[in-house]
Chains A and B, each alone.
Chain A
Amino acid sequence: MSNAWRRKIISAIAEGFCAIAVLLALIPLAMILFYVVKQGFTSLNWAFFTQMPKPVGEAGGGMANAIVGTLILIAIAALLAVPIGCICGIHLAEYPTSKFSSIVRFAADVLNGVPSIVVGMFAYIIAVLPVKRFSAFAGGLALAVLMLPTVVRTTEELLRLVPAGLREGALALGATRTSAVFTVIVPAALPGILTGVLVALARVAGETAPLLFTAFGNRFWSISLRQPIASLTQQVYLYANSAYDDWHRQAWAGAFLLVMIILTLSIIARLSVRRLERMNRP
């Protein structure tokens, strides 16, 4: 029956296309990783990590201030987003069906979809404009807002996974809700929550747009929260846009470092998830 034949051929072709689609996505991935490693790894040297950027046009120098800057920025982001996000997540997990929780959950979803540059604008308006100065704090604030939805969602999901028996046991021993939550339930979910936080940090470490007019960047060494601060991502952007080959080289090095940081954090996260699953299955 030729109709059956035709359909089988169509089926094979369609399935083949799907396989090609996978290749089409993996090829750019491979290319990016290849170039980042090839151009970036070779440009990494001790100077990159320890030296400051040289004046325009001079070769050499490094991104020490930018590396430290990124670390400071994500530290600020974590300090702001983790407490707020976790407690919000705790509330959502403890009162999952309340109207208020639904609204907050929806708001977190909305926040998740706001473009990072718009969040940067917001941070500019509330943290830069009033004091008429760019600052590391403003940059950290922008990153915190970007991280917040992820922390909330991770915390809520992980708390919901904690077996109900744990809570009942604590309450049966006379614990108040507060103490049951903070001494039993949260600790049980803590490894997973920390993993989620790591993943969120990895993601915001790679952000550039919101820092452009909050942290603003700084040619010099600065670790003050109230001054502009350099960041790895912004420095890479700056160097990439320049006309100097040496700066291009350093941009690749910065990109390589960024990708390494993110990959490492995500691998740690994945391994912890695996270990967690094994721990929770007796």
Chain B
Amino acid sequence: MRRSADDRVFRITTGMFAAIVLLLVIGIGFELWRQSMLSIDKFGFRFWTGRVWDPVSGEFGALPFIWGTLYSSFLALLLSTPIALGIAIYISELSPGMLRQPLAYLTELLAAIPSIVYGLWGVFVLTPIVRKLELLLPESLRRTPFFSGPPLGVGMGMAAIILSIMVIPFTSSVAREILKNVPIAQREAAYALGATRWEAIKVAIGFGKTGIIGAIMLGLGRALGETMAVTMVIGNNPQISPSLYAPQYTMAAVIANEFTEAADDLYLHALIEIGLLLFIITIFVNFISRFFIWTTKQRMVRPA
């Protein structure tokens, strides 16, 4: 029959295009692995624990970059999560109806600003301000390991601030979706027991807890891979330090800065190996995030 032959051709042809997407993901992982073999073979696990990154002598240890990425992302989450959740709660529960759309749109605008523009603003506008604040910090705090070192403006602290601003819209919009889908019966149950508005909101958050964690992890995934804005304000110094004042380095930043200067194959492979790790970590974080969000959405469709 003409129709079923056409159906088959249609399915296979469109399927081939769909397979391209699948092949791309697999391909990226494969190529990254293949092109980092030299470094994997030479350093093995030492690559991840080594603290020395010296292209001249051929000694590559990526720990400073792993530290920089994880620490900056962690700090960014610390700053952004309460704000993002506050925004989500405000827009979905507290704001007057007319403000809802404009506020949601403005928050999403934050996500539309390109990374390089954040970097530009960060370097030329925010860093001088932060530097002044760093100078103003009382002596007693300056002695703690979190604020030690000369106040340069650029450094881990700046990176954390810029990253947190960039992450806010992602966490916030997913959290808003989740809150919107909490069945109203939950809030009614709380109100009927004499809850205040905030207590009823807490019940809603509790119901969507898993999804909100997923939203936070989505922000984490975003922060881990951010390149341009971070490299412009973090100082690009491969040192490991808990101090917010200290210039440090992230995985994405070192790749951006040194990739075109990698003169020999080992150097290139070492950088690609860092890219491979970044690839794996972000896939993992995003997978967990989507899984949590999906689980919560399932629960909302069939509550009990």
A residues sitting closer than 8 Å to B (CB atoms) are 7-8, 10-11, 14-15, 17-22, 24-26, 28-29, 31-32, 35-36, 39, 83-84, 87-88, 90-92, 94-95, 100-101, 103-104, 107-119, 121-122, 124-126, 129, 145, 148-149, 152, 176-178, 181, 202-203, 205-209, 212-213, 216, 233, 236-237, 240-241, 248, 251-252, 255, 258-259, 262-263, 266, 270
**How far, in whole Å, are A213 and B35 apart by their CA atoms in the complex?**
15
Give the interface segment out of B15-23, B38-46, B59-67, B141-149: B15-23
**Chain A proximity mask over B1-44: 1 for CB below 8 Å, otherwise 0:** 01100110111011101111110110110011001000000000
Scan residues 89-146 of chain B and give those whose CB is less than 8 A from a CB of chain A: 89-91, 94-95, 103, 105-107, 109-110, 112-121, 123-125
Are B103 and A255 in contact (CB-based, < 8 A)? no
Does the CB pair A115–B197 fall under 8 Å?
no
Check if B232 is an interface residue, CB within 8 A of chain A. yes
Known: A22-B86, A29-B109, A84-B17. A208 touches B115 (CB 8 A): yes
| Distance to closest chain B CB from A67 (angstroms) | 15
Chain B residue at minimal CB-CB distance from A148: B21
Task: Name the prevailing secondary structure of the A interface residues.
Answer: helix
With the chains together, A206 CA to B199 CA distance in Å? 42
Which residues of chain A are near B196, meaning CB under 8 Å? Answer: 7-8, 10-11
Q: How far is the CB of A82 from chain B (nearest CB, A)?
A: 11
| Bound form: Cα–Cα A26–B125 in Å | 16
- What distance in Å separates the Cβ of B12 from its nearest Cβ neighbour in chain A? 10
B35 near A100 (CB under 8 angstroms)? no
- A101 to chain B: closest residue by CB: B18
B198 touches A117 (CB 8 A): no
Give the residue of A25, A113, A212, A216 whose beta carbon is less than 8 angstroms from that of B107: A25
Q: Once the chains are docked, how many angstroms separate the CA of A115 from the CA of B14?
A: 27
A234 to chain B, nearest CB (A): 8
Q: A117-B225, A233-B116, A259-B117 are in contact. Are A10 and B198 (CB under 8 A)?
A: yes
Is B290 in the interface zone, CB < 8 Å from A?
A: yes
The residues of A that contact B17 with a CB separation of less than 8 Å are: 83-84, 87-88, 91
Beta-carbon contact of B114 and A113 below 8 Å: no
**B10, B28, B95, B121: which contacts A177 (Cβ < 8 A)?**
B10
B153 at the A interface (CB under 8 A) = no
- Contact string, B274-291, partner A, CB cutoff 8 A, digits 1/0? 010011001101110010
User: Does chain A have a CB within 8 A of B203?
Assistant: no
> A25: which B residues are within 8 A, CB to CB?
83-84, 87, 107, 110, 165, 168-169, 172
A38 CB to nearest B CB, Å: 10
Q: Are B7 and A207 in contact (CB under 8 A)?
A: no
